[in-house]
Every structure is written in C-alpha cells, then in structure tokens.
Amino acid sequence: MQSMNISLPDPLKQFVDSQVAQGRYSSTSEYMRELIRADERLKAEELLEAKLLEGLSSPETEFNSAEWAEIRKKALVIIESRKLKH
C-alpha cells in the first residue's frame, strides 16, 4: 500500500478527527479511503448517467425511457455490489 501525505486547514482536520473519535472510522486513513471510494462511486454513476442519456438521445436507440431506467437500475446494483467487495 502506498502512503500519501495531505495538508488540511485546522477546521477540516478537526472534522476528520471528530469522525474518527466518534468511532465511525478506526483511523484517519480509513476515513480518507471511504471518501475516495464514495467519490469513485459518484463518478461511475455520473458516467453511467451520461452514457444512458447519450443513448436515449441517439436516433438509433430502440429502447424507451422505462427500459433505460431498468437498465440503469441494474447497472447501479452492479456498482453497489462492487462497492461491497472493496
């Protein structure tokens, strides 16, 4: 595992420390990893949404909005299952 040093203003450092102190995370590193994973999930969902919208606006699509919604729902389930593996 690689190490990374970051600098935070005092209010942010205090917030991170409070999250660890409350027992939500066992360490600052765990908290930071969870934030990064959450951002990864958000970016994946945004990309999926963009691709689905691109497909919906394509003249070649044969799917209706309800079908795209179902595809999106299934894709989000896959994303969530991958999250649980990490």
Contact call for residues 67 and 58 (beta carbons, < 8 A): no
pTM above 0.75, yes or no: no
* H helical segments located in the chain: 10-21, 28-57, 65-85
* pLDDT winner (highest mean) among 26-35, 53-62, 67-76: 26-35
State the average pLDDT over residues 2-24.
95
Domain ranges of the chain: 10-85
What pLDDT does 15 receive? 96
Residue-level pLDDT at 56? 79
Per the model's pLDDT, the better-predicted residue between 3 and 86 turns out to be 3
Position 58 pLDDT exceeds 90: no
* The predicted structure's pLDDT at residue 65: 85
Identify which of 40, 39, 38, 28 has the alpha carbon closest to the alpha carbon of residue 4. 28
Rounded mean pLDDT, 18-32 = 95
End-to-end CA distance of the chain: 14
